[in-house]
Chains A and B, each alone.
Chain A
Amino acid sequence: MNHDAYDDNYIRGILNNVKSIAMVGASPVNVRPSYFAFKYLAQRGYDMIPINPGHVGKSLLGKPFVAQLSDIGRPIDMIDIFRNSSHIMPVVEEALKLSPLPKVIWMQLGARDDAAAEKAEAAGIKVVMNRCPKIEYGRLSSEISWMGVNSRTLSSKRAPIPTQGMRLSLNRTSVGGGETAASDRAAKNKNELT
């Protein structure tokens, strides 16, 4: 699995199929990226579970905080890890003890741990690293185009009007990454250049 650049269909498949997402490191502080990614994904219809041992007893947008993955007490489709790279491995190890296993482990923008990814993939779990599910959902649905962002997708179908709790179509035609996306190459070459 190439974790430098993902095929849109890989990301699309994950976002179309997962229903429940446990967000490790979700913050109740409404200016933190984890807070607004949590809120966005909840508004797009995902069953969100905030994981943060420091806030047990409180809730985030009506969802009670849970201390750790094993306390969720029901199967979850995806774990979204909002921690920096050095804190990834323990979360993945904890996830590997769940039964049933989650289908997807997603590490946030800026977070990457190849050894942890390898462990998860060996157990049959799909892994995404250094991406934000809010940005990817916004990109593949073209909702992010309001910000002048290149969604790298095309569609001749009438767009739905996004409303609260509405899942948007992610099934647009992808323009593709690899050979044209300089940003992907830059991310891949980052270590070689420095």
Chain B
Amino acid sequence: MTDRHPGFSTLAVHAGAQPDPTTGARATPIYQTTSFVFNDADHAASLFGLQAFGNIYTRIGNPTNAVLEERVAALEGGTAALAVASGHAAQVVVFQQLLMPGDEIIAARKLYGGSINQFTHAFKSFGWNVAWADPDDVASFERAVTPHTKAIFIESIANPSGSITDIEAIAAVARKAGVPLIVDNTLATPYLIRPIDHGADIVVHSLTKFLGGHGNSLGGIIVDAGTFDWSKDNKYPMLSEPRPEYHGIKLQETFGNFAFAIACRVLGLRDLGPALSPFNAFMILTGIETLPLRMQKHCENAKAVAEFLSGHPKVAAVNYAGLASDKYNNLARKYAPKGAGAVFTFSLKDGYDAGVNLVSNLKLFSHLANVGDTRSLVIHPASTTHSQLDDAAKVKSGAAPDVVRLSIGIEDKEDLIADLEQALTA
């Protein structure tokens, strides 16, 4: 008998979860505890020495969080995962394993504004440098490679522009340079795009968005694809060299193809401390159970709204890769055949002021700084999420002053269109 391959929706409900051994509880219990008792001194020493599987302290691991980790690893096709307090925390933890002062990453210019800030300012104070490349021009990544390059970072579907990145082409650049490709898959979710299938070595998420899906809990996650050989040269000493704090254990030698996730846990999370609350893990897990259903509805609604807007006389342009006329439609057909996501931008013929008016006239759409909620959301990126960028960088990142960003929810699409219609004509 060969192994069966359960489908995505089965994994979304079951992966990582099992009736509780003690109580038989079928839903994953919230293990709201800081610490876990040891069987004896020997057990404690084994756990601290990374010699046994088990729980010590919720900053390092928690059984509720572990279910979330295995579930997302299964959905992404990775070997292991580590859940943390936010998407931003995930990025810091990832890069702490890869970078020493003086090292560089190459990042796509089209990123969530918060990531651009984090890489530009916070990382600078760690001595980590970023070289920017254009995700629409693969050669620009190749040109940016230097002997100090340690990783390439892209978004699968870029925020706010909704453009689709050619993951395979950029993965080839990373492979040639001998560095891992890290993909932020937040806006696509593994339901629409599985970056590991296209050559990503590490996937990160803000779980706060579509995976949690209900706008009620922050979280982030790091998925290890198990594809990168960290010991090939001396570029990644955190994984290939003996760790003094763990009696000289070499992480890749000991943990094989999930060593990166372990490094993120036992070096990153342990020392930097951005642990995810088990309660948030529970909320996000509950959300993931309906991820396939929600993403279908999000995408269906987004396409209908984008079509409505592109036919509206007051709208100058709609950037939604799901539209046949869109610049990214071919990439969307290749990478996201089930739908091009539900976050996109459009601009109004009357510019910035019309955008501001539209936002204030909407009655169903909520004006706030999040995406991937059940509710439909609207924001003006240039004055909010991307406000700390200069004008040229705003345009390059897809957040020009006249651009409005929508995150389409799972309401009835007729009501969303009616709300936009009244706000545009008000």
Contact = CB atoms under 8 A, between A and B. Distances in A.
- Please indicate whether A and B come from the same complex rather than being unrelated chains: yes
Interface stretch (A19-27, A48-56, A119-127, A158-166): A158-166
B14 A156 contact: yes
A155 interface: yes
Contacts of A138: 53
Interface in B234-262: 246-249, 253-258, 261-262
B132 to A, nearest CB: 27
B254 A154 contact: no
B67 A145 contact: yes
A4 to B, nearest CB: 12
Contacts of A30: 49, 51
A152 interface: yes
Given A142-B18, A150-B80, A161-B21, A174 B4 contact: yes
A148 B19 contact: no
A187 B80 CA distance: 16
Interface string B187-211: 0000000001100000000000000
Interface in A149-183: 149-152, 154-161, 164, 173-177, 179-183
Interface stretch (A33-41, A71-79, A94-102): A33-41
B80 A149 contact: yes
B135 to A, nearest CB: 22
Interface in B371-423: none
Nearest to A141: B53
Interface hub of B15, B49, B79 (most chain A Cβ within 10 A): B79
B271 interface: no
A120 to B, nearest CB: 22
A177 B53 contact: no
A183 B79 contact: yes
Contact of A154 (B6, B55, B83): B6
B61 A147 contact: yes
Contacts of B425: none
Interface in B5-63: 5-6, 10-11, 14-16, 18-22, 24, 39, 46, 49, 51-55, 61, 63
A158 B4 contact: no
A31 B49 contact: yes
Nearest to B229: A190
Contacts of A40: 51-52
A7 B79 contact: no
A9 interface: yes
A1 interface: no
B73 A157 contact: no
Nearest to A142: B18
Identify the interface centre among B53, B61, B225, B254: most chain A CB within 10 Å of its CB: B53
A143 B66 CA distance: 11
Contacts of B82: 148
A158 B227 contact: no
A193 interface: yes
Nearest to B262: A147
A132 interface: yes
A147 B265 contact: yes
A175 B74 contact: yes
A135 B24 contact: no
B70 A145 contact: yes
Given A39-B46, A152-B74, 11 more contacts: A31-B247, A33-B249, A143-B53, A146-B63, A154-B15, A156-B19, A158-B24, A182-B77, A183-B226, A186-B225, A186-B228
19 contacts: A31-B49, A31-B247, A33-B249, A146-B53, A148-B261, A148-B265, A150-B73, A154-B6, A154-B10, A158-B21, A161-B22, A173-B4, A176-B3, A181-B226, A182-B77, A182-B78, A182-B196, A183-B227, A187-B257
Interface of A: 7-9, 30-31, 33, 35-36, 39-40, 109-110, 132, 135, 138, 142-152, 154-161, 164, 173-177, 179-183, 185-187, 190, 193-194
